[in-house]
């Protein structure tokens, strides 16, 4: 992996590896590019009953005449082979180190390509408009390479991008996104500072909640049978956590009471914090039931039956009250964006 002739490449590799969890959490882009490819802006073909071969050929031809459609189509077509390769290796018995090394090797290959150097990486937690703007810039450059006859290089790059994203999901408890199962967790958090360990844990859990978005959940709240569509806005929650970590870390420091990284991720600190956020009904609606979160919490705290009750637990200590109050203040700034997001989840579920 060593390449002493390229210090710039090493710097980019280190930066992407550090932020790999968010930079290569590409669920948002999978959805956006799928929508782009079949959007009525490009695909005004009416109902399915009017769809014919002539319409298909015009649609297919447009893939190679428009930068955004070219990128979307080639990106989505590259997914299957990359998934097949990774799926063949996923085994619960394999140590995390195996997949971490795979991620590093693929990432080094990624930054070694010309397209990898030009790729506008963006974090999953960035504002949606910024993420869209950046992939469209990348799409223009990739399309220019297609116009130069470099389709093989484009395919190689997109294949690597998918491999990295899938392995990253496997390592960060999102394997189910690809129909895979892998639940081994990172055993050591000692190298993290406590605040980072705490923030990473709560963000990971809420993002795991969001993997259930769009599912219809059967309930029996207070003995009354019913249903609701599960929806949690993990994106704006993570933006709030980033702001909290950057500008108000002293609230977190007081809340954690001098605990080390391992102690900062314990259930008695994490679950009340998440429970308070959910009780505000900003990143979720009041239909969400704590009991429906049990399968996700068991992934992070296996065998700990108190996880659900801890969501409603409060110590009443001043540090907790101050932190929770600041969280509520910060989330208020995202309320409108959250409302828009939650409505979109409902609409997608209805369709």
pLDDT at position 349, please? 46
Q: Is residue 54 part of a domain?
A: yes
pLDDT at position 319, please? 94
Which whole-number Å values give the CA distances from 82 to 88, 142, 302, 324, in the listed order?
Answer: 10, 19, 31, 42
Query: Domain check: are 56 and 161 in the same one?
Result: yes
Query: Domain check: are 198 and 168 in the same one?
Result: no
d(CA 12, CA 32): 26
Query: Domain check: are 213 and 332 in the same one?
Result: yes
DSSP reduced 3-state for 65? coil
pLDDT at position 57, please? 80
Question: How does DSSP assign 144-164, residue by residue?
Answer: HHHHTT-HHHHHHHHHHHHHH
pLDDT at position 92, please? 84
d(CA 26, CA 329): 29
Number of structural domains the chain divides into: 2
Q: Find residue 218's DSSP bridge partners.
A: 227
pLDDT at position 3, please? 45
Query: Domain check: are 260 and 330 in the same one?
Result: yes
Query: Domain check: are 160 and 248 in the same one?
Result: no
pLDDT at position 123, please? 86
Residues in the chain, pLDDT under 70: 1-6, 40-52, 186-191, 221-223, 346-351
Say how many CA atoms lie within 13 Å of 184 toward its Cβ: 17
Give residue 240's domain range.
194-350
Q: What is the pLDDT of residues 210-244, one digit of tens each?
A: 888 888 988 876 667 788 999 999 989 999 999 99
Query: Domain check: are 146 and 201 in the same one?
Result: no
pLDDT at position 187, please? 57
pTM beyond 0.75, yes or no: no
Query: Domain check: are 155 and 295 in the same one?
Result: no
């Amino acid at each position: 992996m060593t390449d002493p002739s390229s210090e710039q490449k090493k710097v980019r590799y280190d930066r992407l590896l550090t932020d790999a969890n968010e930079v290569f959490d590409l669920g948002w882009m999978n959805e956006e590019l799928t929508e782009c490819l079949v959007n009525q802006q490009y695909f005004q073909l009416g109902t399915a009953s009017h769809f014919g071969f002539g319409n298909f050929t015009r649609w297919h031809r447009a893939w190679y005449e428009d930068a955004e459609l070219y990128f979307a189509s080639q990106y989505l077509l590259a997914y299957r082979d990359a998934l097949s390769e990774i799926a063949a290796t996923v085994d619960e018995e394999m140590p995390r180190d195996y997949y971490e090394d795979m991620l590093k090797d693929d990432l080094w290959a990624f930054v070694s390509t010309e397209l990898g150097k030009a790729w506008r990486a963006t974090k999953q937690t960035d504002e949606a408009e910024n993420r869209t703007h950046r992939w469209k810039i990348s799409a223009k450059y990739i399309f220019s390479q297609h116009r130069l006859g470099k389709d093989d290089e484009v395919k190689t790059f997109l294949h690597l991008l998918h491999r990295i994203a899938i392995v990253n999901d496997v390592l960060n408890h999102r394997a189910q996104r690809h129909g895979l199962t892998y639940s081994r967790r990172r055993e050591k958090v000692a190298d993290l500072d406590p605040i980072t360990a705490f923030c990473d844990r709560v963000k990971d859990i809420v993002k795991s909640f969001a993997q259930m978005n769009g599912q219809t959940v059967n309930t029996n709240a207070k003995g009354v049978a019913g249903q609701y569509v599960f929806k949690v806005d993990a994106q704006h929650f993570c933006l709030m956590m980033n702001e909290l970590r950057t500008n108000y870390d002293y609230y977190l420091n007081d809340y954690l009471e001098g605990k080390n990284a391992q102690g900062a991720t314990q259930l008695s600190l994490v679950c009340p914090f998440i429970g308070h956020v959910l009780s505000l009904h900003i990143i979720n609606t009041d239909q969400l039931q704590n009991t429906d979160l049990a399968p996700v919490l068991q992934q992070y705290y296996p065998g700990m039956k108190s996880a659900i009750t801890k969501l409603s637990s409060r110590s009443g200590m001043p540090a907790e009250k101050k932190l929770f109050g600041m969280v509520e203040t910060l989330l208020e700034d995202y309320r409108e964006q959250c409302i828009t997001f939650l409505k979109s989840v409902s609409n997608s579920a209805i369709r």
